[in-house]
Amino acid sequence: MKKYTNTGSKDTRSGFGAGMTELGQKNENVVALCADLIGSLKFDDFKKNHPERFFQIGIAEANMIGIAAGLTIGGKIPFTGTFANFSTGRVYDQIRQSVAYSEKNVKICASHAGLTLGEDGATHQILEDIGLMKMLPGMTVINTCDYNQTKAATLALADHHGPAYLRFGRPVVPNFTSTDAPFVIGKAIILNEGTDVTIIATGHLVWEALLAAEALEAKGISAEVINIHTIKPLDDEAILKSVAKTGCVVTAEEHNFLGGLGESVSRVLAVNNPKPQEFVAVNDSFGESGTPEQLMEKYKLNNKAIIEAAERVIKRK
Amino acid sequence: MSNTQHLQDFTTQTRRDILRMVHAVNSGHPGGSLGCAEFLTVLYQQLLQRNPGFSMDGIGEDIFFLSNGHISPIFYSVLARSGYFPVSELATFRKLNSRLQGHPTTHDGLPGVRMAAGSLGQGLSVAIGAAQAKKLNHDAHLVYVLTGDGELQEGQNWEAIMYASAKKVDNLIATIDFNGQQIDGATNDVLNMGNLKTKFEAFDWDVLEIKEGNNIEAIIKGMEEAKSRTGKGKPVCVLLHTVMGNGVDFMMHTHAWHGKAPNDDQLAVGLAQNLETLGDY
């Protein structure tokens, strides 16, 4: 199996912050908006270097989305930043009408997504945001897996015209993608080629998928691992090509199985080539307080869960 | 130079457009549309510094946002008659495959529309963003926004009102269509908002009132005054006292025609009170 090395664990949100720092220097049309979470979103450098292009909105997310939409009228490229819960569920109608339906070039950037927010508990642990955002016509939905990929995605979004949702998180996780890996929106990345099962993972579950593939290999099972960073538009072709070879699939995501990556993959398979699928995802529940590791264990979102799902789905072939 | 006869004729024609558009599809919102006919006429025919044609960015010109999108009939009529798209297209209002959707949208590329509106309470935030973009672009033109009064019951407005003064967004004129009516009745009965003037002042806006919001000369005078107060560190609010349904006697002073179309007989009465001036579409 192809080897991936953790070059030093970091949080994905810091990748976003580094991307914003670089964009600040490279693209004078990029502006940043924040709803009282500068430190959490790693906006400190951007704010310091470009105070005139940084908008502190206060705790008023609906107003932030509207202002971002307005800033596009005048040619600005706004990146809004707050927690994933306040970036989506709280402001769904503002995003729907003022951004998506109005076709505004707003980048909604969301940290602290999913269970790995940890101890703050379910009020802050949104597990529905991918579903909310992918249902909006014209919205690009991206969930990155590590620091480098999050930075690359942030840079790529500035060159992409149209509304987009960028999802990342708080915990320190392995950084294993290469710094010079091209980030192509909508293009899946085959991390490991295999023949017995396809594991399709997004976000923090990608590293877990690699660990699972390694363990499966030791058991004589050859797993193909696909990193889907763009959930919408989904790379149907890469998925179909892989599943045609392996005949079954496990999807893995830090999200409710309802509305997540898994359902998007199911649709592609149902329409084109129905095959057995197992879901590593939250089973339609809210989260709770705990450490990220405890929560990922309790809610079955780790490499162990992926291994079990792979063994189950292979038996269903 | 003001030409109030032209503006009067223009307004009368827009009233005919509103009645005919809404009647043709037996749906739409004539009450608020009629109440704002004079205001939007003055805005587009006299006040706004507009570039020829339409560019979404609106750089180098004044721009306007309609937040209370349900008064789309008057918006469309004024846009068409101000040259943004053919007047004949008004006949497609609310019909299948039309660019003139029930509520305005950018989705179909209708010139003159920069933001979808319909779900209330969002236009003021958007206008603030556009005003801040103008400042970043060193563009000295103004941003105008119109909201309903009942619409101020939406909380997002108060986030925006707080923000605009705190950030000194002083290239913005927000006009409130102060007709005192909303779908379920008088605003004072549905949810009494108290004294809007003192509320805006408490949020550190510069507030002025146009008591005769259906009088063209009063609107010109009031809006010129509003313009003169921009650039002085505060956002400007205009409380525009209007009469819902103005210009069609049986539609006036009631919320009954907020979202109801006239029948054939009522249309005839309304049109007889507003004789053709610039030519029907």
Inter-chain CB proximity B139 and A71 less than 8 Å: no
Superfamily of domain B4-272: Thiamin diphosphate (ThDP)-binding fold, Pyr/PP domains (3.40.50.970)
From B115, B118, B159, residue closest to A62, measured CB to CB: B159
Q: How far is CA A248 from CA A266, A282, A310, A315, in A?
A: 11, 20, 9, 10
Inter-chain CB proximity A98 and B57 less than 8 Å: no
Quote the DSSP letter at residue A96. I
Please tell me which residue of chain B has the smallest CA distance to A64: B125
Residue A5: pLDDT over 70? yes
**Are both A198 and A265 inside the same structural domain?**
yes
Please tell me which residue of chain A has the smallest CA distance to B145: A70
Dist. CA B38–CA B220, nearest whole Å:
10
Domain that holds residue A235: 189-312
Q: How many CB pairs under 8 A join A and B?
A: 117
Q: What's the pLDDT score for residue B11?
A: 98
End-to-end CA distance of chain B: 28
Supply the mean pLDDT for chain A.
98
SS3 label, residue A256:
strand
**Are both A160 and A236 inside the same structural domain?**
no
Inter-chain CB proximity A67 and B132 less than 8 Å: yes
- The CATH number that applies at residue A102 is 3.40.50.970
Separation in Å, CA of A60 to nearest CA in chain B: 6
Inter-chain CB proximity A75 and B137 less than 8 Å: yes
**Are both A193 and A144 inside the same structural domain?**
no
Q: How far is CA A162 from CA A72, A130, B93, in A?
A: 10, 17, 28
Q: Which residues of A participate in catalysis according to the annotation?
A: 61
From A31, A60, A68, residue closest to B159, measured CB to CB: A60
Q: Name the phi and psi angles at A188, rounded to 5.
A: -70, 155
Dist. CA A58–CA A35, nearest whole Å:
5
Paired tokens of A173? 């996780």
Average pLDDT rounded to a whole number, residues A247-258? 98
Paired tokens of B149? 């009064």
Q: What is the pTM of this model?
A: 0.97
**Are both A201 and A243 inside the same structural domain?**
yes
Residues of A with Cβ-Cβ distance to B156 under 8 angstroms: 62-63, 66, 94
Range scoring the smallest mean pLDDT among B57-66, B171-180, B206-215, B250-259: B250-259
Paired tokens of A262? 């898994």
Give CA B50 to chain center in angstroms. 16
The answer as to whether A4 is a domain residue is: no
Counted domains in chain A: 2
| Residues in CB range of A225: below 8 A, 6 or more apart | A190, A191, A192, A194, A199, A201, A206, A209, A210, A213
Inter-chain CB proximity B156 and A71 less than 8 Å: no
Nearest residue to B104 (alpha-carbon basis) of B33, B183, B23: B33
Residues of A with Cβ-Cβ distance to B163 under 8 angstroms: 57-58, 60, 63, 67
Separation in Å, CA of B90 to nearest CA in chain A: 21
**Are both A21 and A155 inside the same structural domain?**
yes
From A57, A69, A74, residue closest to B59, measured CB to CB: A74
Inter-chain CB proximity A98 and B125 less than 8 Å: yes
B228-250: pLDDT as tens digits:
999 999 999 999 999 999 999 99
Alpha helices by DSSP H, listed for chain A, are 12-26, 38-41, 44-49, 61-72, 84-87, 92-94, 129-134, 147-158, 205-218, 236-246, 261-272, 292-298, 303-315
B14-64: pLDDT as tens digits:
999 999 999 999 999 999 999 999 999 999 999 999 999 999 999 999 999
B156-177: pLDDT as tens digits:
999 999 999 999 999 999 999 9
SS3 label, residue A250:
strand
From A53, A69, A97, residue closest to B129, measured CB to CB: A69
The answer as to whether A40 is a domain residue is: yes
The answer as to whether A25 is a domain residue is: yes
Q: How many CA atoms lie within 13 A of A132 on its CB side?
A: 22
Residues of A with Cβ-Cβ distance to B58 under 8 angstroms: 73-74
**Are both A90 and A237 inside the same structural domain?**
no
- Looking at this predicted complex, what is its ipTM? 0.96
Q: What's the pLDDT score for residue B1?
A: 43
Domain boundaries, chain B: 4-272
Kindly state whether A67 is in contact with chain B, defined as any CB-CB distance less than 8 angstroms: yes
Cα angle, residue B128 at apex, residues B124 and B132 outer, rounded to 5°: 170
Dist. CA B24–CA B45, nearest whole Å:
26
Residue B150: pLDDT over 80? yes
Q: What's the pLDDT score for residue A159?
A: 98
From B106, B166, B167, residue closest to A102, measured CB to CB: B106
Cα angle, residue B119 at apex, residues B118 and B124 outer, rounded to 5°: 90
B67-117: pLDDT as tens digits:
999 999 999 999 999 999 999 999 999 999 999 999 999 999 999 999 999
**Are both A153 and A257 inside the same structural domain?**
no
With DSSP H G I counted as helix, E B as strand and the rest as coil, what are the percentages for chain A, rounded to 5? 45, 20, 40
Nearest residue to B183 (alpha-carbon basis) of B157, B204, B146, B153: B153
Please tell me which residue of chain B has the smallest CA distance to A33: B129
**Are both A124 and A268 inside the same structural domain?**
no
Separation in Å, CA of A299 to nearest CA in chain B: 36
Supply the mean pLDDT for chain B.
97
Q: What's the pLDDT score for residue B45?
A: 97
Kindly state whether A100 is in contact with chain B, defined as any CB-CB distance less than 8 angstroms: no
Inter-chain CB proximity B136 and A63 less than 8 Å: no
Cα angle, residue A194 at apex, residues A192 and A195 outer, rounded to 5°: 165
- The CATH number that applies at residue A221 is 3.40.50.920
A69-117: pLDDT as tens digits:
999 999 999 999 999 999 999 999 999 999 999 999 999 999 999 999 9
Q: Checking phi first, is residue B52 left (phi over 0); if not, alpha (psi -120 to 50) or beta? A: beta
Dist. CA A307–CA B1, nearest whole Å:
78
Kindly state whether A77 is in contact with chain B, defined as any CB-CB distance less than 8 angstroms: no
Please tell me which residue of chain A has the smallest CA distance to B59: A74
Residue where one domain finishes, among candidates A173, A199, A230: A173
Residue A189 parent element (H or E) = strand A189-192
The full DSSP string for B24-60 is: HHT-S-HHHHHHTHHHHHHIIIII----SS--TT-TT
The answer as to whether A112 is a domain residue is: yes
Beta strands in chain B (DSSP E): 63-66, 143-148, 172-178, 181-182, 185-186, 206-210, 236-241
The burial class, CB within 10 Å (0-12 / 13-18 / 19+), for B97 is exposed
From A76, A93, A103, residue closest to B136, measured CB to CB: A76
Full strand arrangement of the beta sheet holding B206-210: B63-66, B143-148, B172-178, B236-241, B206-210
**Are both A56 and A115 inside the same structural domain?**
yes
Residues of B with Cβ-Cβ distance to A63 under 8 angstroms: 125, 128, 156, 159-160, 163
**Contact status, residue B110 vs residue B100, Cβ threshold 8 Å:** yes
Paired tokens of B104? 């305005």
Inter-chain CB proximity B125 and A69 less than 8 Å: yes
The answer as to whether A295 is a domain residue is: yes
A140-190: pLDDT as tens digits:
999 999 999 999 999 999 999 999 999 999 999 999 999 999 999 999 999
Residue where one domain finishes, among candidates A125, A143, A173: A173
Average pLDDT rounded to a whole number, residues B139-162? 98
Separation in Å, CA of B51 to nearest CA in chain A: 14
Inter-chain CB proximity A97 and B118 less than 8 Å: yes
Residue where one domain finishes, among candidates A123, A139, A173: A173
